[in-house]
Amino acid sequence: MPKILVLFAHPRLEKSKINRQLLTVIPSSSDITFQDLYELYPDFNIDVEAEKKLLSEHDIIIFMHPFYWYSCPPLLKQWIDMVLEFGWAYGPGGTALKGKWGFDVISTGGTEEVYQHGARNRFTIPEFLAPFDQTVHLCGMEYLPPFTIQGTHRLSTEEIDEKKLSLGKLFQGLLESKWSIDELKNVELLQQIVG
């Protein structure tokens, strides 16, 4: 059974509507490790060795975060800068992460409609996620399409419940190796494969 590492970054979780609810559907399993980065490193002083050890012990790495200014909150970027070391994660001899899978679970205030060419945000979500895509790629990992929850400011309770159900199923399916890598890479957004 694959092991999943969730790198969760939210600077003000206590004020969040969506992410707090999403967290409730992550199955509690010995195969899932949940790293609440802002809780662990409030001073941004990341324990690099501990994080590297965790990475080695897991097969699927999930970056779970709100999508702030078309990117991740700063602590997650700090994490990327510090943990993905040259010669370990990439570069000569940097093969520690080779073959693992990685993807983003993000929430955006704007709706799907505004993340389109010609719309207010001018680019699509996968386009905005190019830096993550390439980061994961450079580490020799497979980058999967993202799981997105969009238009969060106006989601109804039913819509939120639907999203939660969908995310829960995704975790369950990943744990059970329900989908091949090709199947996963074949969809535009991961919620589409859950159905």
Partner 1 sequence: MSESFLYQAVVYLAAALVCVPFAKKLGMGSVLGYLFAGILIGPFVLGFIGEEGEDIMHAAEFGVVMMLFLVGLELEPSAFWKMKNRILGVGMSQVLVTATVITGIGIAIGLTWQSALAVSLALAMSSTAIVIQTLKEKGLMNAESGKSSFAVLLFQDIAVIPILALLPLLAVTSPDASHGNHGGGLADLPAWLQTIAVLGAVGVIILAGNYLVSPFLRIIAKTHIRELFTAAALLLVVGIAALMQTVGLSPALGTFLAGVVLANSEFKHELESDIDPFKGLLLGLFFIAVGASINFELIGKETLTIVGLTLGVLITKTVILASIGMFSKLKTDQNLIFMIGLSQVGEFAFVLFSFMNQTQILEPHLIELMMAVTAISMATTPIFFLILEKLILPRFGTKEKDDKTADEIDQQHKIIIAGFSHFGSTIGRFLRANGIEATILDNDSDRVDLLRKMGFKVYYGDATRVDLLHSAGADQATLLISAIDDPEITLHLVEVMNKHFPNVELMIRTPHRFYGYELMEHGVKNIYRDSLDTSIRLGVDVLKKIGFRSYTATRAGQNFLNYDETAFKQLFEFRKDQKNYIVRVREQIEEQEKLLQNDLQVNPTTGDHAWDSDHMRNVVNSKV
Residue in 193, 3, 1, 189 with CA at minimum distance from that of residue 106: 189
Residue 131 contacts by C-beta under 8 Å, 6 or more apart in sequence?
71
Q: For residues 33-52, which are near partner 1 according to CB under 8 A? A: 38-40, 42-43
Encoded one letter per residue, x for contact with partner 1 by CB under 8 A and - for no contact, window 142-171 reads ----------xxx-----------------
The label of the residue with tokens 């679970």 reads 105
Encoded one letter per residue, x for contact with partner 1 by CB under 8 A and - for no contact, window 50-69 reads ----------------x-x-
> To the nearest whole angstrom, how small is the minimum distance from the Cβ of residue 125 to partner 1?
18
Using CB under 8 A as the binding rule, whether residue 13 contacts partner 1 is answered as yes
* Exposed e or buried b per residue across 116-142, where buried means at least 16 C-beta atoms within 10 angstroms of its C-beta: eeeeebeeebbebbeebbebbeebebe
Using CB under 8 A as the binding rule, whether residue 11 contacts partner 1 is answered as yes
Chain residues that interact with partner 1, rule: CB under 8 A: 10-18, 38-40, 42-43, 66, 68, 73, 75, 109, 152-154
